[in-house]
Amino acid sequence: MKRDAAGNAVVEAGWQAVRDDGRVRPELLEAAYAEPRLRQLFPWTGMGELHFSRCTGQRWTWDILYIQPASDGTYWVSGPLRSETVGPAATAQDAIAMVVQHLPAGCGPAFVGTPEELAAHEATTQ
């Protein structure tokens, strides 16, 4: 799915908001943003965690792994549901690699809209 310049601006604003809120370790944000497959998704935070959504509108999607900080400076990769865990990651780059390895099939640029609008769009394009 191709996204227009306005959609790119929405996603980029999301990345800037995550940087500005200061709840995610800078090295994790830098590593995630450097990965093109994650940079095209909409980032959001919760409890210091870094999440990625396939759409820009809230309630965001919950079908991509997320990264939690561990107290010893490492990371824990979980998800996509809160009850699911993947495992520990020694570095931000390791955590990013784990997320990328588990991206859903066809995971492309974030859809500008809500999860419901994304589902409707996907239903008409499959």
Identify the CA nearest to 111 among candidates 24, 52, 50, 32. Answer: 52
pLDDT at 46: 86
The pLDDT-based confidence of 7 (bands split at 50, 70, 90) is confident
Chain segment 32-56, per-residue pLDDT in tens:
999 999 999 999 998 889 999 999 9
Tokens 């769009």 belong to residue:
121
pLDDT value at residue 108: 86
Contacts 24+ apart (CB under 8 A), 64-71: 64/99, 64/102, 64/103, 64/104, 64/107, 65/98, 65/99, 65/102, 66/99, 67/28, 67/32, 67/95, 67/96, 67/99, 69/24, 69/25, 69/28
pLDDT exceeding 70 applies to what percent of the chain? 96
pTM of structure: 0.92
Q: What is the pLDDT of residues 85-116, one digit of tens each?
A: 999 999 999 999 999 999 998 898 999 999 99
